[in-house]
Structure 1
Amino acid sequence: MQYFEDLEIGAKRSFGRYEVKRDEVIEFASRFDPQPFHLDDDAAAATHFGRLSASGWHTCAMTMAMNVAAMGEQQQAGLGAAGIDELRWLKPVYPGDVLRCETELLDKTPSRSRPEMGSFRSRTTVFNQDDQKVMSFIALGLIRTRAGAAA
Protein backbone atom coordinates (compact mmCIF):
# COMPACT_ATOMS: atom_id res chain seq x y z
CA MET A 1 0.00 0.00 0.00
CA GLN A 2 1.28 3.46 -0.87
CA TYR A 3 0.80 6.16 1.80
CA PHE A 4 1.53 9.88 2.00
CA GLU A 5 5.04 9.20 3.30
CA ASP A 6 5.82 7.08 0.23
CA LEU A 7 5.06 9.81 -2.31
CA GLU A 8 8.17 11.17 -4.02
CA ILE A 9 8.05 14.67 -5.48
CA GLY A 10 9.00 14.53 -9.14
CA ALA A 11 7.95 10.91 -9.54
CA LYS A 12 6.46 10.19 -12.97
CA ARG A 13 4.13 7.44 -14.06
CA SER A 14 2.65 6.35 -17.39
CA PHE A 15 -0.55 4.32 -17.48
CA GLY A 16 -3.82 3.58 -19.16
CA ARG A 17 -5.19 2.73 -22.55
CA TYR A 18 -8.64 3.87 -23.62
CA GLU A 19 -10.05 3.35 -27.09
CA VAL A 20 -12.51 6.12 -27.90
CA LYS A 21 -15.66 4.61 -29.38
CA ARG A 22 -18.06 6.54 -31.63
CA ASP A 23 -21.18 5.23 -29.87
CA GLU A 24 -19.77 6.30 -26.47
CA VAL A 25 -18.97 9.79 -27.81
CA ILE A 26 -22.56 10.23 -29.03
CA GLU A 27 -24.14 8.64 -25.94
CA PHE A 28 -22.14 10.81 -23.52
CA ALA A 29 -22.79 13.97 -25.52
CA SER A 30 -26.50 13.29 -25.87
CA ARG A 31 -26.79 13.04 -22.08
CA PHE A 32 -24.31 15.64 -20.84
CA ASP A 33 -23.02 17.94 -23.63
CA PRO A 34 -25.53 17.90 -26.50
CA GLN A 35 -23.72 20.26 -28.83
CA PRO A 36 -24.11 19.42 -32.54
CA PHE A 37 -20.39 18.81 -33.17
CA HIS A 38 -20.49 16.00 -30.57
CA LEU A 39 -23.62 14.43 -32.05
CA ASP A 40 -23.77 14.91 -35.82
CA ASP A 41 -21.19 14.33 -38.56
CA ASP A 42 -22.43 17.11 -40.84
CA ALA A 43 -22.62 19.67 -38.03
CA ALA A 44 -19.13 18.68 -36.84
CA ALA A 45 -17.71 18.94 -40.39
CA ALA A 46 -18.81 22.59 -40.50
CA THR A 47 -16.72 23.47 -37.41
CA HIS A 48 -13.01 23.80 -36.69
CA PHE A 49 -13.16 20.21 -35.36
CA GLY A 50 -13.73 18.96 -38.91
CA ARG A 51 -15.49 15.82 -37.75
CA LEU A 52 -17.35 14.33 -34.81
CA SER A 53 -15.36 14.93 -31.61
CA ALA A 54 -15.70 13.86 -28.00
CA SER A 55 -16.85 16.33 -25.38
CA GLY A 56 -14.03 17.61 -23.21
CA TRP A 57 -16.05 16.38 -20.24
CA HIS A 58 -16.14 12.93 -21.82
CA THR A 59 -12.35 13.09 -22.14
CA CYS A 60 -12.24 13.86 -18.40
CA ALA A 61 -14.46 10.85 -17.70
CA MET A 62 -12.32 8.53 -19.84
CA THR A 63 -9.24 9.83 -18.01
CA MET A 64 -10.91 9.16 -14.67
CA ALA A 65 -11.57 5.57 -15.74
CA MET A 66 -7.87 5.13 -16.53
CA ASN A 67 -6.91 6.79 -13.22
CA VAL A 68 -9.12 4.51 -11.14
CA ALA A 69 -7.78 1.41 -12.90
CA ALA A 70 -4.20 2.57 -12.25
CA MET A 71 -4.94 3.32 -8.58
CA GLY A 72 -6.26 -0.21 -8.18
CA GLU A 73 -3.03 -1.62 -9.58
CA GLN A 74 -0.88 0.62 -7.37
CA GLN A 75 -2.80 0.06 -4.11
CA GLN A 76 -2.74 3.71 -3.03
CA ALA A 77 -4.32 4.77 0.27
CA GLY A 78 -6.27 7.47 -1.55
CA LEU A 79 -9.06 9.43 0.11
CA GLY A 80 -10.51 11.15 -2.93
CA ALA A 81 -9.69 14.58 -4.31
CA ALA A 82 -10.18 18.19 -3.31
CA GLY A 83 -10.28 19.62 -6.81
CA ILE A 84 -8.77 20.21 -10.23
CA ASP A 85 -6.76 23.23 -11.35
CA GLU A 86 -5.67 24.36 -14.78
CA LEU A 87 -7.85 21.99 -16.81
CA ARG A 88 -6.98 22.43 -20.49
CA TRP A 89 -8.42 20.73 -23.55
CA LEU A 90 -5.47 21.00 -25.92
CA LYS A 91 -6.62 19.07 -29.00
CA PRO A 92 -9.87 17.43 -30.03
CA VAL A 93 -10.41 13.78 -29.19
CA TYR A 94 -12.03 11.77 -31.97
CA PRO A 95 -13.66 8.36 -32.22
CA GLY A 96 -10.87 5.91 -33.00
CA ASP A 97 -8.29 7.71 -30.88
CA VAL A 98 -6.46 5.68 -28.22
CA LEU A 99 -5.71 7.66 -25.07
CA ARG A 100 -3.08 7.19 -22.37
CA CYS A 101 -1.91 9.19 -19.35
CA GLU A 102 1.25 10.45 -17.74
CA THR A 103 1.42 11.96 -14.27
CA GLU A 104 4.07 13.84 -12.34
CA LEU A 105 3.92 14.47 -8.59
CA LEU A 106 4.44 18.22 -8.10
CA ASP A 107 4.30 18.55 -4.31
CA LYS A 108 2.81 17.14 -1.13
CA THR A 109 1.64 18.71 2.11
CA PRO A 110 0.75 17.06 5.43
CA SER A 111 -2.55 18.24 6.88
CA ARG A 112 -2.09 20.65 9.78
CA SER A 113 -5.43 19.76 11.35
CA ARG A 114 -5.81 16.08 10.41
CA PRO A 115 -2.65 14.03 11.02
CA GLU A 116 -4.25 10.96 9.47
CA MET A 117 -4.03 12.50 5.99
CA GLY A 118 -2.11 14.70 3.61
CA SER A 119 -2.59 16.18 0.18
CA PHE A 120 -0.61 16.18 -3.02
CA ARG A 121 -0.70 17.93 -6.37
CA SER A 122 0.00 16.04 -9.57
CA ARG A 123 -0.04 17.07 -13.20
CA THR A 124 -1.84 14.67 -15.51
CA THR A 125 -1.30 14.86 -19.25
CA VAL A 126 -3.43 12.81 -21.63
CA PHE A 127 -1.99 11.79 -25.00
CA ASN A 128 -3.54 10.28 -28.12
CA GLN A 129 -2.05 7.45 -30.19
CA ASP A 130 0.20 9.95 -32.03
CA ASP A 131 1.69 11.16 -28.71
CA GLN A 132 -0.11 14.49 -29.10
CA LYS A 133 -1.21 16.13 -25.85
CA VAL A 134 -4.99 16.32 -25.85
CA MET A 135 -5.70 17.36 -22.23
CA SER A 136 -3.89 18.37 -19.07
CA PHE A 137 -4.82 19.31 -15.52
CA ILE A 138 -3.44 19.54 -12.01
CA ALA A 139 -5.23 17.38 -9.47
CA LEU A 140 -5.28 17.94 -5.72
CA GLY A 141 -5.46 14.48 -4.19
CA LEU A 142 -5.97 13.38 -0.60
CA ILE A 143 -4.15 10.39 0.85
CA ARG A 144 -3.94 8.58 4.17
CA THR A 145 -0.75 8.70 6.26
CA ARG A 146 0.71 5.59 7.87
CA ALA A 147 -0.53 6.88 11.25
CA GLY A 148 -3.99 7.27 9.75
CA ALA A 149 -3.92 3.70 8.48
CA ALA A 150 -2.98 2.41 11.94
CA ALA A 151 -5.85 4.27 13.63
Structure 2
Amino acid sequence: MQYYEDLEIGVPNRFGHYEVTREEVIDFARKYDPQAFHLDDEAAAKTHFGRLSASGWHTCAMTMAMIVANHTDNGHAGLGSPGMDELRWLTPVYPGDTLRVESTVVEKRRSKSKPEMGLFRTKTTVFNQHDVPVMTYTALAMIATRDPGGSD
Protein backbone atom coordinates (compact mmCIF):
# COMPACT_ATOMS: atom_id res chain seq x y z
CA MET A 1 0.00 0.00 0.00
CA GLN A 2 1.28 3.46 -0.88
CA TYR A 3 0.81 6.12 1.80
CA TYR A 4 1.63 9.81 2.14
CA GLU A 5 5.11 8.98 3.40
CA ASP A 6 5.85 7.04 0.19
CA LEU A 7 5.10 9.93 -2.19
CA GLU A 8 8.21 11.35 -3.85
CA ILE A 9 8.24 14.88 -5.21
CA GLY A 10 9.46 15.21 -8.78
CA VAL A 11 9.35 11.53 -9.78
CA PRO A 12 7.14 10.96 -12.86
CA ASN A 13 4.61 8.15 -12.69
CA ARG A 14 3.74 6.84 -16.18
CA PHE A 15 0.76 4.55 -16.54
CA GLY A 16 -2.43 3.71 -18.36
CA HIS A 17 -3.60 2.44 -21.70
CA TYR A 18 -7.04 3.54 -22.82
CA GLU A 19 -8.33 2.83 -26.32
CA VAL A 20 -10.87 5.43 -27.41
CA THR A 21 -13.77 3.93 -29.36
CA ARG A 22 -16.26 5.62 -31.63
CA GLU A 23 -19.14 4.01 -29.76
CA GLU A 24 -17.96 5.34 -26.41
CA VAL A 25 -17.34 8.85 -27.81
CA ILE A 26 -20.90 9.02 -29.14
CA ASP A 27 -22.45 7.41 -26.04
CA PHE A 28 -20.68 9.84 -23.70
CA ALA A 29 -21.62 12.80 -25.87
CA ARG A 30 -25.28 11.77 -26.00
CA LYS A 31 -25.42 11.65 -22.23
CA TYR A 32 -23.17 14.53 -21.16
CA ASP A 33 -21.97 16.79 -24.00
CA PRO A 34 -24.40 16.56 -26.93
CA GLN A 35 -22.61 18.87 -29.32
CA ALA A 36 -22.80 17.93 -33.00
CA PHE A 37 -19.02 17.50 -33.45
CA HIS A 38 -19.09 14.76 -30.78
CA LEU A 39 -22.13 13.03 -32.31
CA ASP A 40 -22.20 13.37 -36.08
CA ASP A 41 -19.49 12.75 -38.69
CA GLU A 42 -20.84 15.29 -41.20
CA ALA A 43 -21.21 18.04 -38.62
CA ALA A 44 -17.75 17.31 -37.20
CA ALA A 45 -16.17 17.42 -40.68
CA LYS A 46 -17.33 21.05 -41.02
CA THR A 47 -15.52 22.15 -37.86
CA HIS A 48 -11.88 22.74 -36.97
CA PHE A 49 -11.86 19.18 -35.55
CA GLY A 50 -12.27 17.79 -39.07
CA ARG A 51 -13.87 14.61 -37.79
CA LEU A 52 -15.73 13.16 -34.83
CA SER A 53 -13.89 14.03 -31.61
CA ALA A 54 -14.27 13.09 -27.95
CA SER A 55 -15.60 15.61 -25.48
CA GLY A 56 -12.93 17.11 -23.26
CA TRP A 57 -15.04 15.97 -20.33
CA HIS A 58 -14.89 12.46 -21.75
CA THR A 59 -11.09 12.77 -21.86
CA CYS A 60 -11.22 13.68 -18.16
CA ALA A 61 -13.39 10.63 -17.44
CA MET A 62 -11.09 8.28 -19.38
CA THR A 63 -8.14 9.72 -17.47
CA MET A 64 -9.90 9.14 -14.16
CA ALA A 65 -10.51 5.51 -15.14
CA MET A 66 -6.76 5.09 -15.75
CA ILE A 67 -5.89 6.79 -12.45
CA VAL A 68 -8.25 4.57 -10.45
CA ALA A 69 -6.95 1.43 -12.20
CA ASN A 70 -3.37 2.48 -11.40
CA HIS A 71 -4.23 3.16 -7.76
CA THR A 72 -6.04 -0.17 -7.49
CA ASP A 73 -3.23 -2.12 -9.13
CA ASN A 74 -0.55 -0.46 -6.97
CA GLY A 75 -2.34 -0.25 -3.63
CA HIS A 76 -2.82 3.49 -3.11
CA ALA A 77 -4.33 4.84 0.11
CA GLY A 78 -6.13 7.66 -1.72
CA LEU A 79 -8.92 9.54 0.01
CA GLY A 80 -10.36 11.54 -2.89
CA SER A 81 -9.70 15.02 -4.20
CA PRO A 82 -10.99 18.48 -3.38
CA GLY A 83 -10.42 19.61 -6.96
CA MET A 84 -8.19 20.51 -9.84
CA ASP A 85 -6.73 23.64 -11.37
CA GLU A 86 -5.45 24.72 -14.75
CA LEU A 87 -7.34 22.15 -16.83
CA ARG A 88 -6.41 22.47 -20.49
CA TRP A 89 -7.50 20.47 -23.51
CA LEU A 90 -4.56 20.81 -25.89
CA THR A 91 -5.28 18.51 -28.82
CA PRO A 92 -8.48 16.78 -29.89
CA VAL A 93 -8.95 13.15 -28.91
CA TYR A 94 -10.37 11.00 -31.69
CA PRO A 95 -11.82 7.50 -31.91
CA GLY A 96 -8.88 5.16 -32.49
CA ASP A 97 -6.53 7.11 -30.20
CA THR A 98 -4.87 5.36 -27.29
CA LEU A 99 -4.32 7.47 -24.19
CA ARG A 100 -1.81 7.22 -21.35
CA VAL A 101 -1.03 9.33 -18.28
CA GLU A 102 2.06 10.90 -16.80
CA SER A 103 1.68 12.39 -13.33
CA THR A 104 4.29 13.99 -11.06
CA VAL A 105 3.89 14.97 -7.41
CA VAL A 106 4.99 18.61 -7.20
CA GLU A 107 4.12 19.33 -3.57
CA LYS A 108 2.96 17.52 -0.45
CA ARG A 109 2.08 18.39 3.13
CA ARG A 110 0.46 16.80 6.14
CA SER A 111 -2.96 18.05 7.13
CA LYS A 112 -2.76 20.19 10.25
CA SER A 113 -6.33 19.42 11.33
CA LYS A 114 -6.45 15.73 10.31
CA PRO A 115 -3.13 14.02 11.10
CA GLU A 116 -4.31 10.77 9.49
CA MET A 117 -4.32 12.57 6.13
CA GLY A 118 -1.81 14.17 3.80
CA LEU A 119 -2.41 16.37 0.80
CA PHE A 120 -0.44 16.39 -2.40
CA ARG A 121 -0.50 18.29 -5.67
CA THR A 122 0.23 16.64 -9.00
CA LYS A 123 0.95 17.96 -12.46
CA THR A 124 -0.73 15.56 -14.87
CA THR A 125 -0.41 15.24 -18.64
CA VAL A 126 -2.40 12.87 -20.84
CA PHE A 127 -0.77 11.77 -24.09
CA ASN A 128 -2.08 10.07 -27.22
CA GLN A 129 -0.34 7.21 -29.02
CA HIS A 130 1.96 9.68 -30.82
CA ASP A 131 3.19 11.07 -27.47
CA VAL A 132 1.33 14.30 -28.19
CA PRO A 133 -0.08 15.93 -25.04
CA VAL A 134 -3.88 16.09 -25.29
CA MET A 135 -4.73 17.37 -21.80
CA THR A 136 -2.99 18.84 -18.76
CA TYR A 137 -4.13 19.76 -15.29
CA THR A 138 -2.92 20.24 -11.75
CA ALA A 139 -4.80 18.31 -9.08
CA LEU A 140 -4.93 18.37 -5.31
CA ALA A 141 -5.50 14.96 -3.74
CA MET A 142 -5.78 13.46 -0.27
CA ILE A 143 -4.05 10.32 0.93
CA ALA A 144 -3.87 8.41 4.22
CA THR A 145 -0.73 8.68 6.32
CA ARG A 146 0.94 5.54 7.57
CA ASP A 147 1.94 7.32 10.79
CA PRO A 148 -0.48 10.10 11.86
CA GLY A 149 2.04 11.28 14.43
CA GLY A 150 4.92 11.46 11.97
CA SER A 151 6.56 14.49 10.44
CA ASP A 152 7.71 15.41 6.95
Partner of 2:90: 90
Listed as ranges, the gaps of 5+ residues in structure 2 are none
Partner of 1:105: 105
Partner of 1:131: 131
TM-score (norm. length: structure 2): 0.95
Partner of 1:117: 117
Deviations, residues 41-83 of structure 1 (Å, cap 9, x unaligned): 0100000000000000000000001000000111111101110
Deviations, residues 78-118 of structure 1 (Å, cap 9, x unaligned): 10111011100000000000000101110001101110101
Distance in 1 between residues matched to 2:74 and 2:103, nearest whole Å: 13
Amino acid at match of 1:16: G
**Structure 1 consecutive aligned stretches of length 4 or more whose deviation exceeds 2 Å:** none
Deviations, residues 113-147 of structure 1 (Å, cap 9, x unaligned): 11010100001100001110000111111001113
When the two chains are superposed, the root-mean-square deviation of aligned CA atoms in Å is: 0.7
Distance in 2 between residues matched to 1:119 and 1:31, nearest whole Å: 33
Partner of 1:42: 42
1:70 aligns with 2:58: no
Distance in 2 between residues matched to 1:147 and 1:13, nearest whole Å: 24
Listed as ranges, the gaps of 5+ residues in structure 1 are none
TM-score (norm. length: structure 1): 0.96
Report percent identity of matched pairs. 65
- The number of equivalent residue pairs is 148
Partner of 2:19: 19
